A and B are shown apart, each in its own frame.
Chain A
């Protein structure tokens, strides 16, 4: 399958109303592409948040999702997850990975119009003295099956984050109506 990039390198001004603590930076609607990249992220915020709904073309009810920072493909990621399937609770984690796994979204075998949803918080993203910690809440429900995931990802780099890529671990394309929005949160 061809890997295609949906890249946002420039940003709209966001909603009018003057500067506020929570500002919209960019929105991606990745229909028929396998990655979303928010690039050229300004370093003027304290934290970032990504909110969205997604569904991939994987032939299954769900698909595992990954995050990559600044295009870093080295083994600089680790993650831990707590998740529930509606009948059982489980936990997992991995260290020294080439990407951060952040949970699962719905996929092509789920009921039509079912999408997964997520909130990804990237804390102190512009710091040049700290590793970067990412907090995730994500899930999908298919009325009889589903998963809710709580996770954390560590990117072991003190480089400021200027690029975030989201993609399916199976490199399947995002479905039409998938949408992810990047927000900046300012400190005092």
Chain B
């Protein structure tokens, strides 16, 4: 029986790669948490997720952001991926941080996520919070993390945690 909060898998890239994918995710938890920190080969590209290799337009998202001068809110509808942040905030040199909570990932409802992205590039940056929706009632067994363009750099680390309710 799993512990209440435990790591399922960790990946740290030893060389640049197009994505980090967690597959064969066990169904024994209630929620998942994905923590990512790293850089991208290209500046200012957008971090994204896909579940179960679904590339259909089944994703949407509502976000709130602050960029150091203004607050804003944007949405994403009927997209082929779930954006982690609405802004293209990645950096090729300064690690950014993403925290993604995925709720009731094996349940019979559509899958909802709370996503937080933080990037401070010393003069620019953004902090963003979002709610994301994957319109599928299937249990999540695979999560793919990638950028809208280019590779993830070596050293990028992603850890998937499982959280088990009573």
- Using CB atoms and an 8 Å cutoff, list the residues of chain A in contact with chain B: 11-17, 20-27, 51-53, 82-89, 111, 113-119, 137-148, 150, 177, 179, 181, 183
Contact = CB atoms under 8 A, between A and B. Distances in A.
A141 B166 contact: no
A52 B103 contact: yes
A141 B60 contact: yes
Name the prevailing secondary structure of the B interface residues. Answer: strand
Interface string B63-86: 111000001111101100000000
Given A115-B112, A119-B101, A143 B60 contact: yes
Q: A interface, by DSSP: helix, strand, loop or mixed? A: strand
Count chain A CB atoms within 10 A of each CB in B3, B71, B107, B165 and give the residue with the most.
B165
Given A113-B135, A181-B166, A183-B165, 20 more contacts: A12-B166, A15-B1, A17-B2, A20-B5, A21-B5, A24-B166, A51-B30, A84-B71, A86-B63, A89-B71, A111-B110, A137-B114, A138-B114, A139-B62, A139-B130, A141-B75, A145-B62, A148-B64, A148-B129, A183-B4
A118 B114 CA distance: 8
A144 B77 contact: yes
B62 A53 contact: no
Nearest to A177: B109
Contact of B104 (A14, A53, A85, A87): A53
Interface residues of B, number: 42
Contact of A146 (B3, B60, B65, B78): B60
Interface string B48-66: 0000000000001111110
A64 to B, nearest CB: 16
A150 to B, nearest CB: 6
B61 A141 contact: yes
Contacts of A137: 114, 116, 129
A141 B36 CA distance: 23
A83 B64 contact: yes
A147 B132 CA distance: 10
18 contacts: A12-B166, A15-B3, A17-B1, A17-B4, A20-B5, A82-B64, A84-B63, A115-B110, A119-B101, A141-B60, A144-B77, A146-B62, A147-B131, A148-B64, A148-B129, A150-B129, A179-B30, A179-B104
